Amino acid sequence: MAGSAPIRFEFATATRIVFGAGALREAALAAKSFGKRALIVTGSSVERAEPLLHWLTQEHVHGAPFAVRGEPTTHAVVQGVQRAREAECDVVIGFGGGSAIDAAKAIAAMLTNEGELLDYLEVIGRGKALTRQSAPFIAVPTTAGAGAEVTRNAVIASPEHRVKASLRSPLMLARVAVVDPELTHHLPPALTASTGLDALTQLIEPYVSCRANPLTDGLCVEGMRRVARSLARAFEHGQDKPAREDMALASLFGGLCLANAGLGAVHGFAAPIGGMFPAPHGAVCAALLPHVMEANLHALRQRHPGHVAIQRYEEVARILTGVHTTTAEGGIAWVAELCQRLKIPPLRGYEMTARDIPATVEKAMQASSMKANPIPLTHEELEGILGKAI
């Protein structure tokens, strides 16, 4: 990211991305091209997938629903693979938020790769590389935040280990990602807030990441502009079509960016916290974001005063506030005020206390997302972030 070193980067994403109001039918058309029987992985409410099931029926594709309640676990993935095999499914469709899409992604991968899920999971498993392309996988997000439709990993919780771990491979990328903003119009305000701030986090972190590149930079900037003008509107007026479209695009851009430029300390914390406490991923990211920005900026100014990430935080502030003379601190204040406006609860709302800080920091320091943070944070700095977020 810094200096005059030659530019070199890689960019990988779904084979095909379809975006636009009413695009849902494209998922059925794509499924028809891959097979005749589709496993439909949804969140807890299978009924929300009825429009998709309608279009699949029109294309003579049988849909076999499989509900994932809450964030995906190792047990849910194993059950999903069994369900797909029993129903003789030749295509997997993830229809829902990031949890449903991640579950579908993992199920599609395990349908074609030999062995057990733990053979391939990072951290708690053996971390082996997948060797075979996943079964045909179509992603249809119904929230605007995770960007999971265009990422190459699935985050899976292990209740036994009280941690979340990733199944990760380019072979897991969706064959088709269908992003229809109309599917997000039903989102309640609290979910709009937490997923929307997750999207913002996934635009800010790749932008200041030590792996940032010119291609992701452009997507980050455009995505942040859309969040700045539309997240509060979508929160307060759920049927605002332009606002919902902006947030769906911002989420898509965030997924593209995180998959190709990495994340940072917010997501480094989010994985262990999500495994230890009953806390939704987006809500955790929202509670952490302003405090991580503040700690990063302070550490950069203390230890690397000429670091390009300082200038990037200033650019983030200008994009978010729309004020060209604002400082990086002005951007942090804007994010903090947005969190208040969107009624984001602190981490203590999810049963986390000061006693949990040391164990959480130890786990977070091992998280892969920490490696892309613009500067390595000390143990004390990480504890300070959690102290403020609780």
Asked if residue 2 has pLDDT above 60, the reply is no
pLDDT at 123: 79
Residue 119, Cβ density class (10 Å: 0-12 exposed, 13-18 middle, ≥19 buried): middle
152 near 12, Cβ under 8 Å? Answer: yes
**pLDDT tens per residue across span 12-43:** 899 999 999 999 999 999 999 999 999 999 99
Percent of the chain with pLDDT over 70: 99
- What is the pTM assigned to this prediction? 0.94
> Between the CA of residue 349 and those of 91, 148, 352, what are the distances in Å?
39, 26, 7
So what's the pLDDT on residue 4? 55
Q: What is the pLDDT of residues 95-119, one digit of tens each?
A: 999 999 999 999 999 999 999 999 9
Kindly report, residue by residue over 209-226, the tens digit of the pLDDT. 999 999 999 999 999 999
Q: How far is CA 187 from CA 28, 100, 120, 308, 346, in A?
A: 23, 15, 34, 38, 21
Q: What average pLDDT is seen over the chain?
A: 95
- Please report which confidence band the pLDDT of residue 9 belongs to, taking 50, 70 and 90 as the band edges: confident
Task: Work out the number of other CB atoms within 10 angstroms of the CB of residue 227.
Answer: 28
Q: Cα–Cα distances in Å, from 138 out to 17, 35, 149, 340?
A: 10, 12, 8, 36
